[in-house]
Amino acid sequence: METQRQSKIGRLIQRELSEIFQRECQPLCGGKMVTVTKVRVSPDLSNAKAYLSLFPTAGTDEVVEGLNKATSQVRFALSKRVGKQLRIMPHLKFFLDDSLDYIDNIDNLLKK
């Protein structure tokens, strides 16, 4: 169960990461549209797991792997934006959110 503080920080990081991916870190995204679907923050606020949805879906593992290698660059850009609001900048880890593909697959199966 997330506390209110964890959910607020998660939403703040989600909003700022989405802007960073749109404006500053486009070369890291490999020409794909990146959507930050959810950010989960640990109870001690030192780690954050960001779940990303990528379009088009071909080659998404390489993009997520590249973002995990460039975490320090993304974390630095994030700290410039929210450094005054957070005492400790959480360590970032990116994961692929395939829930939209799963929903699409279920929808296609139900249509048959």
* Right CATH for 4-111 from 3.40.109.10, 3.30.450.40, 3.30.300.20, 1.10.150.120: 3.30.300.20
Q: Per residue in 49-92, pLDDT tens?
A: 999 998 887 888 888 999 999 999 999 999 999 989 988 899 99
* Cα distance between residue 84 and residue 89, in whole Å: 10
Q: Which tokens hold the place of 45? A: 């606020």
pLDDT for position 2: 85
Cα(93)–Cα(112) distance, integer angstroms? 38
pTM reported for the whole predicted model = 0.86
99 CB neighbour count, 10 Å cutoff: 12
Q: What was the pLDDT predicted at 38?
A: 94
Name the band, by pLDDT with cuts 50, 70 and 90, for residue 37.
very high
Rounded distance between C-alpha atoms, residue 20 and residue 97, angstroms: 18
- For position 71, what pLDDT does the model report? 94
